[in-house]
Amino acid sequence: MQLVFATNNLNKLKEVQSMLPQHIKLLSLKDIACDEDIPETQPTIEGNAIQKAEYLKNHYGYDCFADDTGLEVHALNGEPGVFSARYAGPQRNAEDNTKKLLTELKHKTNRNAQFKTVIALHLNGKLHTFTGICKGIITTQKHGDGGFGYDPVFKANGYDKTFAEISLEEKNKIGHRGKAVSKLVEFLKN
Ligand code: IMP
């Protein structure tokens, strides 16, 4: 069985492939000669994941799955959410985004936030979604140089280190994307 993962990130692809039974073979966007920007114009994380999976199915005909992730901050009414990648502008720069987030939260005492990943799977004509959430807080300054995006300012509940200070293995275990991927893998195994 072949399944397209709407990504060209080979690390992500390998990681999910390693969790799947051998008869499921994952293909990247490159593998199906898709080099266009897949539209992500929906107002929600769920909406974007579904839009990407449906676009791929409709334009390329493959069963597939797509993921979308955002950081939802309580004191900012859920922002940056679906705008996480371009919070500080279209340059999509993690440094600028993090700086803007810390500025917006400067005088806020409630630092609660969550990462949310939604995976939308198009399989045998049906759409399924899998959600992974990781709750935590936004720190007042950056700590650590691992990870990417908002990792240096996010501490998962129960941890005294940011996502930029823990190993990738640990992050995958407790993190939003890892949880959503586990749900997808369990579904595909059955
Ligand atoms: P994407 O949907 O995986 O492309 O994620 C959208 C944006 O959310 C990224 O550009 C990052 O700014 C942020 N993001 C997603 N996942 C993570 C994460 O695991 N750590 C930190 N930031 C993340």
Residues 64-83: pLDDT tens digits? Answer: 999 999 999 999 999 999 99
* 87 pocket-lining for ligand 1 (C-beta < 6 Å): no
Residue of 35, 68, 96, 160 marked catalytic: 68
Question: Cα(152)–Cα(55) distance, rounded to whole angstroms?
Answer: 33
Report the length, in residues, of the chain: 190
The per-residue pLDDT of the chain, averaged, comes to 96
Percent of the chain with pLDDT over 70: 100
The mean per-residue pLDDT over the stretch 156-180 comes to 95
The mean per-residue pLDDT over the stretch 121-143 comes to 98
- Report the alpha-carbon angle 18-189-33, nearest 5: 55
Query: How much distance in Å is there from the Cα of 46 to the middle of ligand 1?
Result: 14
CA atoms within 13 A on the CB side of 100: 18
pTM: 0.95
Distant-in-sequence contacts of 35-42, Cβ < 8 A, 24+ apart: 38/6, 38/66, 40/68, 42/82
Tokens of 28: 């990247």
Annotation says 68 is catalytic? yes
Give me the torsion for CA of 107, 97, 7, 82, rounded to 10°. 50
Question: Cα(189)–Cα(171) distance, rounded to whole angstroms?
Answer: 23
Q: How confident is the model at residue 28 (pLDDT cuts 50, 70, 90)?
A: very high
For 2-189, give the CATH class: alpha beta
Residue bearing tokens 């949310």? 116
Q: Ligand 1, closest atom to CA 97?
A: 12
What is the predicted pLDDT for the residue at 168?
Answer: 87
Q: How confident is the model at residue 190 (pLDDT cuts 50, 70, 90)?
A: confident
Q: For the chain, give every domain's residue range.
A: 2-189
